[in-house]
Amino acid sequence: MTQICRFGAQVIAFGLTAAGYNRLVDINAIPPYLFVASVVLAGMFFCGWACPFGAAQEWLRFLGRRLSRANANIPNPLHRYLSLSRYILWLFFLLVSVHTTGLSINSRVTFLSVFSGRGIGRFALCFMGLMLFLSLFMDRPYCKYLCVRGAGRGVVGILRVFTVKRQRDKCIGCQACDKACPMGIEISTAGDLRTASCINCLRCVARCPAKGTLKFGLAVLRIRDLRDAIKRYFPTVQYKK
Ligand code: SF4
Ligand code: SF4
C-alpha cells in the first residue's frame, strides 16, 4: 500500500514539475522551509517521494527488470566506498563555491530543463541519457553516486527525528531488506537507521517477512547510532547484530 501511495506521490510531483516549468502552476509558491522541515524531520523524503529524476530512474529500473535479468548494482563493500563520491563532490562544490546548477553532470537539472524546453548542451544531454540508460540495470545510479543535492540533504538527515527502525530481537537475518533497498543500505545490520543515503522509500519495511521488525517512527538520537552512521561507510568495521 505504501508503495502505491509513493508511486501516486511521484506521479503527482512529476505532473506538478512539468506544469511548473511550463508556467501552468507556480511551484515557487511552495515555501522552501517546508523542504528544510521535511529534511530535519525525516531526511530525504523528497528524493524518495517527489524528485522527478529519482522517479524516472526508478520507473526505468522497473521496466529494466521486466526486460532483462541483468543487474549492474555494485555489491557492498565496493558500493559503500563509491557512494562516498557524491559527498566528495558536495564538499568540493561547497569549498570552491561552484554552483552545480549549470554543470553538465548535474543530470537532475538537465532532466528538469527538458520539461521547460530550455537549451541544453549536448554533453549534458548525453550524460543524462547515460544515467537513464544505466537505470535500466541499476537502482538509482545518479542518486547513489552523483546527486550533490541529495548528498547535502542526506548529511542533515542523519540527525532526523523519524527514521526506519529495526528491532534486533525480532530480526531473522534473512537480508530481504538489504536486497530491496535501492540505495544499497545494509539495514539488516542497523538499529535506528542513521545514514545520509536513506530516501524513505520504505521498500525495506514492505519486504521484511518478520512482522514488526522494521518500522518507520520516532527515533531518539543516540551517539551509538551516529557512530554507526560513520562506520557504515567503512567495510572493515564489523557490526553487532
Ligand atoms: S533503508 Fe529502507 S527506506 Fe531507506 S532507502 Fe533503503 S529501502 Fe528505502
Ligand atoms: S528483512 Fe526483516 S527479518 Fe530480514 S534481515 Fe531485514 S530486518 Fe531482519
| pLDDT of the chain, 241 residues: tens digit per residue | 889 999 999 999 888 887 776 666 666 666 777 778 888 888 888 899 989 999 999 999 999 999 988 899 988 888 888 888 888 888 887 776 666 655 677 888 888 888 776 777 888 889 999 999 999 999 999 999 988 888 888 888 888 899 999 999 999 999 999 999 999 998 998 888 888 889 999 999 999 999 899 999 998 888 877 777 777 665 444 434 4
Amino acid letter for position 230: I
- Whether residues 102 and 191 share a domain: the answer is no
Q: Of ligand 2's atoms, which has the minimum distance to the CA of residue 172?
A: 3
- Whether residues 118 and 195 share a domain: the answer is no
The answer to whether the beta carbons of residues 152 and 197 sit under 8 Å apart is no
Ligand 1 within 6 A of 196 CB? no
- Whether residues 8 and 125 share a domain: the answer is yes
Please state, in angstroms and rounded to a whole number, the distance separating the CA atoms of residues 45 and 33.
Answer: 14
| CATH code, domain with 179 | 3.30.70.20
Q: Of ligand 2's atoms, which has the minimum distance to the CA of residue 207?
A: 1
Ligand 1 within 6 A of 164 CB? yes
What is the total count of domains within the chain? 2
- Whether residues 6 and 28 share a domain: the answer is yes
Q: Looking at 126, 155, 184, which one is the last position of a domain? A: 155
- Whether residues 61 and 107 share a domain: the answer is yes
Can you name the residues that pair with 215 across neighbouring β-strands?
165
What single DSSP character describes residue 238? P
Structural domain contains residue 238: no
- Whether residues 150 and 172 share a domain: the answer is no
What kind and span of H or E run contains 4? helix 2-21
Structural domain contains residue 229: no
This prediction's pTM: 0.84
Contacting residues for 153 by C-beta, under 8 A, at least 6 apart: 39, 43, 44, 46, 47
- Whether residues 135 and 168 share a domain: the answer is no
Structural domain contains residue 241: no
The answer to whether the beta carbons of residues 43 and 154 sit under 8 Å apart is yes
- Whether residues 204 and 138 share a domain: the answer is no
- Whether residues 52 and 91 share a domain: the answer is yes
- Whether residues 97 and 80 share a domain: the answer is yes
Q: Which domain holds residue 56?
A: 2-155
- Whether residues 116 and 26 share a domain: the answer is yes
Q: Of ligand 2's atoms, which has the minimum distance to the CA of residue 175?
A: 5
Structural domain contains residue 141: yes
Q: Looking at 97, 129, 155, which one is the last position of a domain? A: 155
Structural domain contains residue 186: yes
Q: Which residues line ligand 2 (CB under 6 A)?
A: 166, 171-177, 187-188, 207-208, 210, 213-214
- Whether residues 142 and 204 share a domain: the answer is no
pLDDT given at position 26: 62
